[in-house]
Amino acid sequence: MADSAAKREIDRAEPENISLRVKRSKANDYNGRGEVERESESENILYGFKTSKVLSDSAREKNIFVHGQLADKEAVVILEKTPIREDTLADLFSGSRLKLEMRNDIYSTYRLQAPHHLNEIKTTVVCPATEKHVKKYQRQESFLVEETWEDYQSITLPFIKQQSFSVQWVYNILEKKAEADRIVYEDPDPKVGFVLLPDFKWDQKQVDDLYLIAIARHRDIRSLRDLKSEHLPLLQNIFKKGKEAIMQRYNVPASKLRVYLHYQPSYYHLHVHFTNLSYEALGCGVERAHLLADVIQNLQSDSQYYKTRTLYFPLRAEDGLLSKFKETGRL
């Protein structure tokens, strides 16, 4: 499916000073003892990693996605430069080494070698990686799909059921079998409750790129298409309490938050994205993101709104759902 969670991407509830963070494939997150397995801070699990190919890279985002083998298993490694934070500037200016590259009048450029503790690269490891993981992180051409309610019933829904996308990792979070220490806020109510925790894309060291996910406890809502007016109390509860929790924890007011759902979602269990308005998160564009405030108003005016509305969303070239739309002549 569309990008997820390079996705989904959820980090620690308190800042960490380690330079290597490991995220196994979701099927392997839970180790059977109610804990997420964690690598030793000093252990370099990437020693011996054999690169097969670069799946994609971005000079703007300062990241690179690499496919290869790790201990004879297929793996995807994501390397991402960490942001420069205001509270590190004093150390950066006083503790770095500079090598002059060019000087012309009032302008000069340098190569700056930052102190070791300020020169981290956030590293995400998916191992063992499946073919779906490789395709997910590979640069591909995208197409905008037009989906009617009839298309959803005859093409999209059968595809979702056939693929049997696992959300066990979501249930592990809801049941506190994994990532319990990362939960920022939780409402235990089985109908309108949810858990709120940081997305993996956010390193939690500055609020300018704040990114949290609210995961509903309700297990029968796959996506926007399943929402009806009976779900309004759940959506309103997430909207209200999620904003309050973020204000209390991070001092970010509701006026600076972008609160939205994806369609198509990266995984088929209702979840809501909370990002800082100043942060241009992947997937926040109009072709995929639906503001939660708009979703609530739409359902208030028409209980069956998302069963009658034609929805548009992007799919990448090798996405199986795109093939289904092509096979039926809908693209």
Which residues are the active-site residues? 271
Measure the CA–CA gap between 311 and 149, rounded to whole angstroms.
8
Are 82 and 119 in contact by the 8 Å Cβ rule? The answer is no
CB atoms within 10 A of CB 54: 13
Are 271 and 265 in contact by the 8 Å Cβ rule? The answer is yes
How far from 287 is each of 150, 160, 327, CA to CA, in Å?
A: 20, 20, 22
Tell me the pairing of strands 257-262 and 194-198.
unpaired
Q: What's at 243, amino acid-wise?
A: K
Within its chain, how far is the Cα of 95 from the centroid?
34
Across 224-253, b (16+ Cβ under 10 Å) vs e yields bbebeeebbebbebbbebbbebbeeeeebe
| DSSP for residue 82 | P
Are 65 and 137 in contact by the 8 Å Cβ rule? The answer is yes
DSSP-derived secondary structure for 279-313: ---TT-STTTEEEHHHHHHHHHH-TTHHHH--EEE
CB atoms within 10 A of CB 132: 13
Q: What's at 322, amino acid-wise?
A: L
Token pair, residue 112, equals 């700056």
